[in-house]
Chains A and B, each alone.
Chain A
Amino acid sequence: MTQKTHSRADARELIRLDDASLVRNGHAVWEHISTSICAGEFIAVLGPNGSGKTSLLKALLGLLPLDRGTIQIDGRPPRRGNRRIGYIPQQKNFDPYVPIRGRDLVQLGVDGHQYGLTTNPKAAAHVNKIIREVGAAKYANTPIGLLSGGEQQRLRIAQALVSEPDMLLCDEPLLSLDLASQRSITKLIHDYRTRTNAAVLFVTHEINPVLPWVDRVLYLANGRWVIDTPDNVLQAKTLTNLYGTPVEVVRIKDRVLVVGAEDAAEAGVHHHQEEV
């Protein structure tokens, strides 16, 4: 397997967690997370349902306070509406009658947070440029609800990139996409971080589509966590330790299959819904 590990020595630290812990219903969703993420790093966040992957992103976005420990985003506590963070939500199709076009979705990424009706005249050109870059120019004027899941997700990426963030938080952006779309969407995100040296946190159920680009894996399970290179995390010993029950890791060609993890999670003591 090819590994494109970034040299972290000279990279700028963008996200830092110190003893970060989140408690829900009296149980630790995850606890004592201490790590840092640097500019240009591509981190895959893995773990079973309810392991707090989405909650971690929400904490970084300033939407969910920690119960212990601290998070620092470029030296400051997380705050809502930080324009340096781009957010790509779970792939969820728009209703066919949502009254916006793809272009309008991207435009909302520029000025959707602004009250009043004043517009920036330069914004339209910038929106056009981003739409071309993600390859969505052909269908940017179609009502967004009529586009395929992959097309919608391209536009969501354009929306996240239009503010030129230096951190990208992606919450299962590949869910229910076909294999070709999964690859092209991941490639877009990878290209962006290569070009701009942005840090990427990529929450996913399915490691294989992102594996070629990933520098490190943050694996959350049963309130515990581990972060390391994919080779070091995705092995039976590490994951068995994490889950506390036997987990096998099978490699077929360049694909990795984790066997027994979902069962272990089902049997796990604290199985919560992901939503907050």
Chain B
Amino acid sequence: MNLHLYVTQAFAQHALIAAALVAVMCGVIGPFVISRGMAFAVHGTSELAFTGAAAGLLIANNPIAGAFGGAAIVATLLATLGGRERERDATIGVVLAFGLGIGVLLLSHYHGFATAATNILFGNIFGVSAGQLLLLLGIGIAVLVGMLGIYRPLLFASVDPDVAMARGIPVRLLSLAFLFMLALTVTAAAQVVGTLLVLSLAITPAAAAQRLATRPLTITLLSIGFALVASVGGLLASLASGNVKPSIFVTVISFGLYVFARVIGPSRTRR
């Protein structure tokens, strides 16, 4: 079928809006994930969003609400348990392993559509209903407004926590706020690429951007741009291909951009 025929359909339009929104969220969050060393936290949160989605599917036939619930629980756990970086990673590892096990157990009790499970893991953006899209929009706007509001103090607290604290910036509170916005973003991104492949939108575009730019604002803008190309491009490629899942194209494009940035970017040496 023709691509331009698809994009006039409501399901494809919903999917494109959701993909673009999620890309902007991930693009903004990504550079902070890298500078705060939280790649593993992203992975942990998304895996537990899987557990939440499985629970949501089983209990209320609503994986998205379940995923947000799961991610919120993880963010709270990380905020209360995780102290320093290494301790935090160990905590995530412990909770992640347990949570995944629970998720698999929950899915084994689910006897609905067989594709529901793979949709959680690899995304099902074409299944987004108008109601779910509204939920995603609300969450997306909240996260973006929040991130713009705390952008500067969060940057300060991320790169230079000691001085930020001396300057009276509420470093711990900001870190908590970021954790929750991260959890919301990861869950939203999981709708596009699935819980297993969230890093391809939450890390890869920012990592590529950092290869090409040194100014924080430029890095963020590039990161948003790369995430948009990967997310929307992946979706369109999937529509054009017929039956290949968008997450596969999203990860391929995103990785391609990273390789491209590494090749053409200046080598990270002085001047």
Residues of A in contact with B (beta carbons under 8 Å apart) = 61-63, 79-82, 85, 87, 89-90, 94, 96-101, 104-105, 108, 111-117, 139, 141-143, 146-147, 156, 159, 169
Decide: A113 and B148 in contact? CB cutoff 8 A: no
Choose, from B18-26, B54-62, B209-217, the stretch at the interface: B209-217
- Closest B residue, CB atoms, query A103: B215
Supply 15 further A-B pairs (C-beta < 8 A) apart from A85-B166, A117-B148.
Answer: A63-B166, A82-B168, A96-B268, A100-B214, A101-B215, A108-B152, A108-B159, A112-B164, A112-B167, A113-B152, A113-B167, A114-B152, A115-B150, A117-B151, A142-B270
- Closest B residue, CB atoms, query A171: B162
Min C-beta distance of A66 to chain B, whole Å? 17
Decide: A99 and B31 in contact? CB cutoff 8 A: yes
Picked from B166, B268, B269, the residue with its CB within 8 Å of the CB of A87 is: B166
Picked from B35, B152, B165, B168, the residue with its CB within 8 Å of the CB of A115 is: B152
Decide: B150 and A99 in contact? CB cutoff 8 A: no
Please, which residues of chain B bring their CB within 8 A of the CB of A142? Answer: 214, 270-271
> Does B156 interact with chain A (Cβ within 8 Å)?
yes
- Closest B residue, CB atoms, query A141: B214
- Roughly how many angstroms separate A253 CA and B163 CA in the complex, as a whole number? 37
Decide: A99 and B210 in contact? CB cutoff 8 A: yes
- Roughly how many angstroms separate A81 CA and B150 CA in the complex, as a whole number? 16
A sample of 23 inter-chain contacts (CB < 8 A) reads A61-B166, A80-B168, A81-B169, A87-B166, A89-B166, A96-B268, A97-B34, A99-B31, A99-B210, A100-B214, A104-B215, A105-B159, A108-B155, A108-B159, A112-B153, A112-B167, A113-B169, A114-B153, A115-B149, A117-B148, A141-B214, A146-B269, A169-B166
Min C-beta distance of A47 to chain B, whole Å? 20
Decide: A112 and B152 in contact? CB cutoff 8 A: yes
With known contacts A99-B31, A99-B159, A101-B214, A81–B151 Cβ distance under 8 A: no
Please, which residues of chain B bring their CB within 8 A of the CB of A89? Answer: 162-163, 166
With known contacts A111-B152, A115-B150, A143-B214, A100–B166 Cβ distance under 8 A: no
- Closest A residue, CB atoms, query B213: A99
Please, which residues of chain A bring their CB within 8 A of the CB of B215? Answer: 101, 104
With known contacts A143-B268, A146-B268, A81–B35 Cβ distance under 8 A: no
- Closest B residue, CB atoms, query A147: B270
Greatest chain B CB density within 10 A among A85, A108, A142 is at A108
Instruction: Tell me the dominant secondary structure on chain A's binding face.
Output: loop
Decide: A108 and B271 in contact? CB cutoff 8 A: no
- Roughly how many angstroms separate A146 CA and B162 CA in the complex, as a whole number? 20
With known contacts A115-B152, A117-B151, A143-B268, A104–B216 Cβ distance under 8 A: yes
- Closest B residue, CB atoms, query A90: B162
Decide: A81 and B167 in contact? CB cutoff 8 A: yes
- Roughly how many angstroms separate A32 CA and B150 CA in the complex, as a whole number? 41
| B32-64 CB contacts (< 8 Å) to partner A | 34-35
> Does B193 interact with chain A (Cβ within 8 Å)?
no
Please, which residues of chain A bring their CB within 8 A of the CB of B163? Answer: 87, 89, 156, 159
Decide: B271 and A139 in contact? CB cutoff 8 A: yes
Please, which residues of chain A bring their CB within 8 A of the CB of B167? Answer: 81, 87, 112-113
Min C-beta distance of B102 to chain A, whole Å? 35
- Closest B residue, CB atoms, query A98: B159
Q: Which 5 A-B pairs have the closest CB atoms?
A: A81-B168, A80-B168, A112-B156, A87-B166, A89-B162
- Roughly how many angstroms separate A147 CA and B268 CA in the complex, as a whole number? 11
- Roughly how many angstroms separate A99 CA and B214 CA in the complex, as a whole number? 6
- Roughly how many angstroms separate A143 CA and B165 CA in the complex, as a whole number? 22
- Roughly how many angstroms separate A111 CA and B151 CA in the complex, as a whole number? 11
Picked from B149, B155, B164, B168, the residue with its CB within 8 Å of the CB of A100 is: B155
Greatest chain A CB density within 10 A among B148, B210, B214 is at B214
Please, which residues of chain A bring their CB within 8 A of the CB of B153? Answer: 112-115
Please, which residues of chain B bring their CB within 8 A of the CB of A114? Answer: 152-153
- Roughly how many angstroms separate A248 CA and B210 CA in the complex, as a whole number? 53
- Closest A residue, CB atoms, query B148: A117
Decide: B270 and A146 in contact? CB cutoff 8 A: yes
Min C-beta distance of A147 to chain B, whole Å? 7
Min C-beta distance of A85 to chain B, whole Å? 8
> Does B182 interact with chain A (Cβ within 8 Å)?
no
